[in-house]
Copies of this chain bind each other. A is one copy, B any other.
Amino acid sequence: MPDLRKAAIEFAHTNRDRFLEELSELIAIPSISADTAYRKDIQRAAEWLSEKLKGLGFENIQIMPTAGLPLVYGEYLKAGKDAQTMMVYGHYDVQPADPVEQWDSSPFEASIRGDRLYGRGATDMKGQVIASLAAVEAVLQSGGSSVNIKFFFEGEEEVGSTGLDAAIIENKELFAADFALNPDAGMLSATLPTITYALRGLAYFELHLSGPSHDLHSGLYGGTVLNPANELARLIGGMHDAEGRVLLPHFYDSVRELDDEERKDMARLPHDDTFITEQTGVEILHGEKGYSSAERASGRPTLDVNGLLSGYIGEGAKTVLPAKAMAKISCRLVADQDPEEVHKQLIEYVEENIHPSMTWEVILHSKAVASISEKDSKAIQAMSKAMKEIWSTDPIFRREGGTIPVVGYFQDLLGVESVLTGFGLPEDRMHSPNESLHLPTWEKGIDALIHFIYNVGE
């Protein structure tokens, strides 16, 4: 191993405890993007990152307002005009912590137990952000980087990155790069380094139904007017057939089918039924007929209710006929599906099926197209080599079921392809109570990122 590379790896090992302290500091800021009550914490997290970039010697550091929540940007351009430029992506926002009572330790106070560090954002993705910063610091402290580096941190990934596209369009020159590193995609297991070449898209809606002008006594009026909660349930119940297919009109018309090679690859993944049962606690799996669980988890579109609310939900029995009912409903999309089209399909479904006594509204909360990348680009090959160096095995190339809007935006708006990877594991409980980070994997991840930076600079 060349001396500089070796020195950088040693620097990372020596400073491991400080990196953990930095991660704990960042977790302690409850930067929840879904709830406006935490806007000051969003700002605090942005400032924390901007200070960190300053400490690394980055220049042109900015907290940039957007139509949504602010971006943090900083650049290291000392590799020179002829060198390649890498954009490192991260998001500093996190999911809400509720149900808070199900956490074994406080969600915003990092707690190390065994091999794991617990806290909201530990794996998704404050842990990954700190790993990227640590790898870059190690390289810069060991003689400097031969690639230019731009950090790009957004604050609204968990709510659909609504202000991101406009901000990218306005700053195309600033954000110009040869490729992007995006460590928000995770590994299949602690022994299987993973590069994700496809992501699902997302269309997230709220469906509101209103019937009576006010909540009614179910004894006096029950039987005379349609109950919006009953009707909402009926509408949702009709959105799937008995074989698990989504029944929005024309939903599958533009879906790109999985090809035979992909289906073969997926059959070799460790994501089999046993794995899913272990991760979810569900013994009998369910989904679209004709596809394996692994295929359904990443290569097929879905429709899921994310939230339901109507009437009286407190303790005991209130005999109310509710005036309104609400569902949060989202579709995961695959390549060639257009979220705006799915929005129209949902509206058409409601129009065709709802009882005429209801007034209703469909709100499109967020949207993102699915993405698919080339597997043999220089940057992806550099990551593949780095992973083999650390894990002594070739990485697995896979589709992922989640959504990262920025990947589509970088591709479409900047012409920048992302190397999608990351060091989170399926058992990390991202988005759930007791989210955690597997520390041995995280430490290997930092080493792999150091190798990656040297590999792309060669």
Assess whether A451 is interfacial by the CB under 8 Å rule.
no
Q: What is the minimal beta-carbon distance from A204 to any residue of chain B, in angstroms?
A: 4
Residue of B nearest to A315 (CB): B35
Q: What is the minimal beta-carbon distance from A343 to any residue of chain B, in angstroms?
A: 14
Known A-B contacts A232-B308, A322-B306, A431-B215; A300 and B223 likewise in contact (beta carbons under 8 Å): yes
Docked complex Cα distance between A236 and B328 (Å): 17
Q: Which residues of B contact A315 (CB under 8 A)?
A: 34-36
Assess whether A168 is interfacial by the CB under 8 Å rule.
no
Q: What is the minimal beta-carbon distance from A72 to any residue of chain B, in angstroms?
A: 21
Assess whether A377 is interfacial by the CB under 8 Å rule.
no
Docked complex Cα distance between A211 and B282 (Å): 6
Q: Which residues of B contact A158 (CB under 8 A)?
A: 318-319
Q: Which of B282, B306, B309 contacts A318 (CB 8 A)?
A: B306
Docked complex Cα distance between A220 and B280 (Å): 11
Q: What is the minimal beta-carbon distance from A382 to any residue of chain B, in angstroms?
A: 27
Assess whether A317 is interfacial by the CB under 8 Å rule.
yes
Q: How many copies does the complex hold?
A: 2
Docked complex Cα distance between A178 and B315 (Å): 37
Q: Which of B36, B212, B302, B311 contacts A280 (CB 8 A)?
A: B212
Assess whether A371 is interfacial by the CB under 8 Å rule.
no
Assess whether A172 is interfacial by the CB under 8 Å rule.
no
Docked complex Cα distance between A357 and B286 (Å): 8
Q: Are the C-beta atoms of A297 and B220 separated by less than 8 Å?
A: yes
Residue of B nearest to A99 (CB): B215
Q: Are the C-beta atoms of A237 and B235 separated by less than 8 Å?
A: yes
Assess whether A243 is interfacial by the CB under 8 Å rule.
no
Residue of B nearest to A294 (CB): B224
Docked complex Cα distance between A438 and B417 (Å): 70
Docked complex Cα distance between A262 and B145 (Å): 90
Q: Which residues of B contact A302 (CB under 8 A)?
A: 218, 222-223
Q: Are the C-beta atoms of B96 and A312 separated by less than 8 Å?
A: yes
Assess whether A307 is interfacial by the CB under 8 Å rule.
yes
Contact residues of A between 265 and 313, Cβ < 8 Å to B: 276, 279-288, 293, 296-297, 300-313
- Which of A221, A314, A326 has the most chain B CB atoms closer than 10 A to its own CB? A221
Residue of B nearest to A331 (CB): B222
Q: Which of B281, B297, B310, B365 contacts A317 (CB 8 A)?
A: B365
Q: Which of B224, B308, B314, B431 contacts A297 (CB 8 A)?
A: B224
Q: Give chain A's interface residues, CB within 8 Å of chain B.
A: 33-36, 95-96, 98-99, 102, 158-160, 200, 202, 204, 211-227, 229-230, 232-240, 276, 279-288, 293, 296-297, 300-322, 325-328, 330, 332, 355-357, 365-366, 400-403, 426, 429-434
A-B contact pairs, 15 of them (CB 8 A): A33-B316, A34-B317, A96-B312, A204-B319, A213-B280, A218-B302, A219-B402, A219-B403, A223-B293, A224-B276, A225-B276, A225-B285, A307-B313, A308-B311, A308-B325
Report, nearest first, the 5 A-B pairs whose CB atoms are least far apart: A237-B237, A213-B281, A219-B402, A233-B236, A34-B316
